[in-house]
Amino acid sequence: MKLLVTGGAGFIGSNFIFYMRKEHPEDLIICLDSLTYAGNLSTLASVMDQPNFKFVKASITDRRAVYRLFEEEQPDIVVNFAAESHVDRSIENPEVFLETNIIGTAVLMDACRIYGIRRFHQVSTDEVYGDLPLDRPDRFFTEQTPLHTSSPYSSSKAGADLLALAYHRTYGLPVTISRCSNNYGPYQFPEKLIPLMIINALHNKPLPVYGKGENVRDWLYVEDHCKAIDRILQHGRVGEVYNIGGHNEMRNIDIVKLICNALGKPESLITYVTDRKGHDMRYAIDPSKIHSELGWLPETRFQDGIGRTIRWYLENQDWWKTIISGEYQNYYEKMYGGRSSAAPLTSDMKGKEE
């Protein structure tokens, strides 16, 4: 089987490549990545020289380059991880999100139509469903939940999902879509909550918690996400959407405190800063469809996964030090320099503040 993995130099894509190398060593993998700020070729160093792995640097929006690649390689399966993935960046500059996440996905699917494909898998997100209220812990996102996006990022992902379903219905393209909750694990770019807090804490820098830190995310260890995609590729029904998540809801503030404790750092590093615009309150996945149809369940408990992740960042400082010594500094200054810090507010202080 020949797989084209787009965005494979990023967080989840690289973990997926490692997972597939391990589980299906006979497969040939081609990684297509334009190496944006979030793509890192050093991440792929361990597979780069393997005979059944190939890296191609190009953008999924570059129709000519994508068609040439399909013509030369004739992949059987395409798994599309390539995307602009950070909500805060999408609030600053939506355009590149529309180009990569929507147009890029369309270009890939056009190539699939022209050159033929056994499966096009679109890696999507639970953020397409919008958010859930904190006071309704009984409610979860199912595949039937209406799309109701909040950020330019999630809107662009929802646009791509709708296009993928339209290509299935109109052209008969064999498409599957997965919508996963927040991932954590090795090789996550340090703009995202967990690695950012680990790295700041290691430097005894303030830990910038948006708003009151009460927003809830449903965290999944990245390898469990990779396993789920593999299951969908093998046994998923074409034209279907599968939600992926493991009922592991946590408040941001609790994650940040856990990281402080694990690293032996004082919670006084926590700094409450101006909230994200349009900040989604709670994400929570109902994974019963993928469980009952494909037998998938998450295998990594949060306590184990977060411990493994913190250790990874401690043991792989070269990987992230290279990142944070470059353009990242400008990003950090732009995103956090202007955010005023607020006095810590917790739910038990609610009411006193109003």
Strand partners, 56: 32
Distance CA 106, CA 146 (A): 22
208 is a contact residue toward ligand TYD (CB under 6 A): yes
265 is a contact residue toward ligand NAD (CB under 6 A): no
User: By CB under 6 A, which span of 53-61, 133-141, 206-214, 232-240 interacts with ligand NAD?
Assistant: 53-61
Strand partners, 250: 217
34 is a contact residue toward ligand NAD (CB under 6 A): yes
19, 33, 84, 127: the active-site residue: 127
248 is a contact residue toward ligand NAD (CB under 6 A): no
Q: How far is CA 327 from CA 26, 34, 37, in A?
A: 38, 17, 8
For residues 102 and 160, the answer to whether their CB atoms sit within 8 Å is yes
User: How many residues line the site for ligand NAD (CB under 6 A)?
Assistant: 30
Q: With respect to ligand NAD, which residue has the nearer C-beta, 84 or 230?
A: 84
Interacting residues with ligand NAD between 160 and 219 (CB under 6 A) = 180, 182-183, 189
Q: With respect to ligand NAD, which residue has the nearer C-beta, 34 or 151?
A: 34
Q: With respect to ligand TYD, which residue has the nearer C-beta, 39 or 236?
A: 39
Judged by CB under 6 A, which of 87, 90, 104, 227 binds ligand NAD?
104
Nearest-CA neighbor of 83 among 8, 190, 2? 8
* Angle of helix 63-73 versus helix 105-115 axis, rounded to 10: 40
Question: Is 126 annotated as catalytic?
Answer: yes
Judged by CB under 6 A, which of 78, 85, 168, 331 binds ligand NAD?
85
What is the x/- site pattern for ligand NAD, positions 129-168, by CB under 6 A?
----------------------------x-----------
Distance CA 68, CA 56 (A): 11
Q: How far is CA 108 from CA 63, 76, 112, 125, 163, in A?
A: 8, 13, 6, 18, 11
Q: With respect to ligand TYD, which residue has the nearer C-beta, 16 or 189?
A: 189
Provide the sign of the torsion angle of the four alpha carbons 245, 271, 256, 338, taken in this order. Answer: positive
| From the list ligand TYD, ligand NAD, none, partner contacted by residue 157 (C-beta under 5 to 8 A by kind) | ligand NAD
For ligand NAD, the nearest residue by Cβ is 10
Q: DSSP class of residue 103?
A: I
For residues 107 and 166, the answer to whether their CB atoms sit within 8 Å is no
In total, the chain counts a number of residues equal to 354
Q: DSSP class of residue 246?
A: -
Distance CA 200, CA 266 (A): 12
Distance CA 169, CA 178 (A): 17
What is the x/- site pattern for ligand TYD, positions 78-97, by CB under 6 A?
---------x----------
Question: Is 153 annotated as catalytic?
Answer: yes
33, 84, 126, 223: the active-site residue: 126
Judged by CB under 6 A, which of 20, 66, 196, 226 binds ligand TYD?
196
For residues 12 and 83, the answer to whether their CB atoms sit within 8 Å is no
Which residues lie near ligand NAD (CB under 6 A)? 6-7, 9-13, 33-36, 38-39, 59-61, 81-85, 100, 104, 123, 125, 157, 180, 182-183, 189
- Which residues carry out catalysis? 126-127, 153
Binding site for ligand TYD (CB under 6 A): 87, 182, 192-193, 196, 208-210, 215, 217, 252, 276
